[in-house]
Amino acid sequence: MTGGQVVTTRWRLGGMLGAVALLFSACSSGATSAVAPSVALTGAPPASAPAPSQAAAPVTIEWWHISTTDPGKAVFQGIADAYTAAHPNVTIHITILENEAFKTKLTTSIQSGQVPDLFQSWGGGIMAAQADAGALKDITADVASWKDTINPGALSIYAYKGKQYGIPWDMGMIGVWYNKALFTKAGISGPPATWDDFLADVTKLKGAGIVPLAIAGKDMWPSMHLWTYLALRSGGSDALTQMVQSGNWNTDACTAAGDQVLKLNALDPYQPGFKGATYDNEAATVGNAKAAMEVMGQWAPSVEAADSSSKKGIGTDLGWFPFPTISGGKGAATDGVGGGNGIAVGKNASPEAIDFLKFFNSVYNANKINSSNIGMSPVVGTEATVTDVNLQAVLAGRSKATFMQLYLDQATSPAMGTAINEATIALFDGASTSAKACQAITTAAASQ
């Protein structure tokens, strides 16, 4: 890792977008100086003795996260402070980045070989690419002693080819968020259990002059999750896993999902202007009680509130139910689509960094994450600290899950994710057919 190499790799990006090169090299040079200390100390003593010891050599842990706002920011700082108080030889240097800036800066850093010790990760395809590039550390052996404290489904998202490269600290599940008051107004007694009931409820809502469902055509991924559920419920978890792994999406499960979308389209259920809507538009529509439902993850209540005109959302009118089953479908009602946040371990991470991860996911810290509503910890035995009624429902769904599919646009490579998003939004926009959508995804997979 000589200086010369850093310079040449830095130039690689420069080639992509001439003028932007300046910006990038500025970014990566910042990273270079910041990461340097921990690189020099990779050979520090193992942290098997967590008690403070004066003899231990100083270690710096470089940690990048994307919680730019409180409470997340403060909670993370608190966890880091607690760890360094108990381990005076350890310094945790936190870099907080905005989501998109983080992605760009991380890519540049990985190219230059200066990988932070710990950084935000969503697992799946992007983490796999980072592992393939040799940027991550295999921590399988390090976590063996404490991995049972974490929900195995959540943990598996941060494993690739049988090796563990990171750990989750938040794991949720996509479901249907609905407005109870609007349901009552439309004469619907309770959440639908089957897809046919769901469609019947859509008709009832429509009849009552209520927009049944909000989606986001510009951002594409919200309706992609709905489609994923339809494929999962029609074909079952094996069929979906098979499609993701083989890249052959010309299957019955895939076309069945498309057919159900077209059935839904026929009821004209989406909010006006949905084709150009962003996710924030979608959340605002539901948060302002202008639409009755959205298919979304555990973060929906907070985003709906933030995007609503009252800043409070629809409060206690909000309810959650698991995605309905399809009669005759092979999928179980307990199969889920989900994902969350985690921390990946960079290739130069010290044993202290991995020890910090263990501390990070201690029951105490996990409870703090739950009670401050920044995530739903996958640490076993911390369910009680999730107090919000709706989040408890999500948590119950997650705990009962017999299968958990990571969000498709994250489970696959970024290019595949885009292809899936684009193929499915074309269905919802009424510009494609089931067969065409499946073929488009298959074609994209073939060119990987």
Partner 1 sequence: MSATSARPRVGWRLPPKWVTISLFLLPALAVYLLFVLFPVIQAAHYSLYKWNGLQPLTDFIGLRNYVTALNSSTFITAVSNNLLVIVLSLALQIPFSLSLAVLLNRRFRGRSVFRLIFFLPYVLSEAVTGVVFSLLLQPGALVDSGLKGAGLGGLIQDWLGDPNFVMITMFIIVSWKYFGFHMILLLAGLQGIPAEIEEAALIDGAGRWQAFRYVSLPLLGPTLRVSVFLSMIGALQLFDMVWVMTAGGPLNASNTMAIAMFKAGFKNSQMGYGSALAVILFLFGLVVALAYQRFVLRRDVEGALTVFNG
Q: Taking the complex as a whole, how short is the minimal distance between the CB of residue 59 and partner 1, in angstroms? A: 27
Q: Taking the complex as a whole, how short is the minimal distance between the CB of residue 258 and partner 1, in angstroms? A: 15
Beta-strand relationship, 335-345 and 403-406: parallel
First to last CA, the chain: 30
Closer residue to partner 1 (CB): 212 or 397 = 212
Q: How far apart are CA 44 and CA 439, in angstroms?
A: 52
Q: Taking the complex as a whole, how short is the minimal distance between the CB of residue 283 and partner 1, in angstroms? A: 14
Q: Taking the complex as a whole, how short is the minimal distance between the CB of residue 291 and partner 1, in angstroms? A: 13
Interface residue list for partner 1 (CB under 8 A): 11-19, 21-22, 104, 107, 110-111, 126, 129-130, 132-133, 135, 217-218, 220, 272-277, 281, 413-415, 417-418, 422, 425-426, 429, 431, 447
Residues in Cβ contact with 435 at an 8 Å cutoff, skipping those fewer than 6 apart: 250, 255, 258
Q: How far apart are CA 189 and CA 446, in angstroms?
A: 46
Closer residue to partner 1 (CB): 78 or 414 = 414
Please report, for the chain, how many H helices and E strands are present, in that order. Answer: 19, 12
What are the Cα distances from residue 134, in Å, to 80, 217, 347, 424?
27, 36, 7, 33
Contact between 89 and 59 under an 8 Å Cβ cutoff? The reply is yes
Q: Taking the complex as a whole, how short is the minimal distance between the CB of residue 350 and partner 1, in angstroms? A: 23
Q: Taking the complex as a whole, how short is the minimal distance between the CB of residue 217 and partner 1, in angstroms? A: 5
Contact between 14 and 24 under an 8 Å Cβ cutoff? The reply is yes
Signed CA dihedral, 41, 45, 50, 53: sign only? negative
Going by C-alpha positions, the residue among 128, 66, 161, 155 that lies closest to residue 339 is 155
Closer residue to partner 1 (CB): 89 or 442 = 442
The two three-digit tokens of residue 318, written as one number: 């909000």
Residue 447 one-letter amino acid = S
Residue 167 one-letter amino acid = I
- DSSP 8-class letter at 319: E
What are the Cα distances from residue 210, in Å, to 289, 290, 320?
9, 7, 18
Q: Taking the complex as a whole, how short is the minimal distance between the CB of residue 136 and partner 1, in angstroms? A: 11
Closer residue to partner 1 (CB): 71 or 414 = 414
The number of residues in the chain equals: 448
Query: Which position has the token pair 């290739």?
Result: 347
Q: Taking the complex as a whole, how short is the minimal distance between the CB of residue 414 and partner 1, in angstroms? A: 4
Closer residue to partner 1 (CB): 92 or 349 = 349
Q: Taking the complex as a whole, how short is the minimal distance between the CB of residue 11 and partner 1, in angstroms? A: 6
Closer residue to partner 1 (CB): 260 or 413 = 413
Paired residues of 171 in beta bridges: 340
Q: Taking the complex as a whole, how short is the minimal distance between the CB of residue 89 and partner 1, in angstroms? A: 33
Closer residue to partner 1 (CB): 217 or 336 = 217
Q: Taking the complex as a whole, how short is the minimal distance between the CB of residue 127 and partner 1, in angstroms? A: 11
Torsion of CA 399, 401, 405, 407, to 10 degrees: -50
Closer residue to partner 1 (CB): 111 or 260 = 111
Closer residue to partner 1 (CB): 2 or 48 = 2
Closer residue to partner 1 (CB): 207 or 430 = 430
Residues in Cβ contact with 317 at an 8 Å cutoff, skipping those fewer than 6 apart: 179, 180, 181, 182, 289
Q: How far apart are CA 385 and CA 377, in angstroms?
A: 9
Closer residue to partner 1 (CB): 23 or 181 = 23
Paired residues of 166 in beta bridges: 344
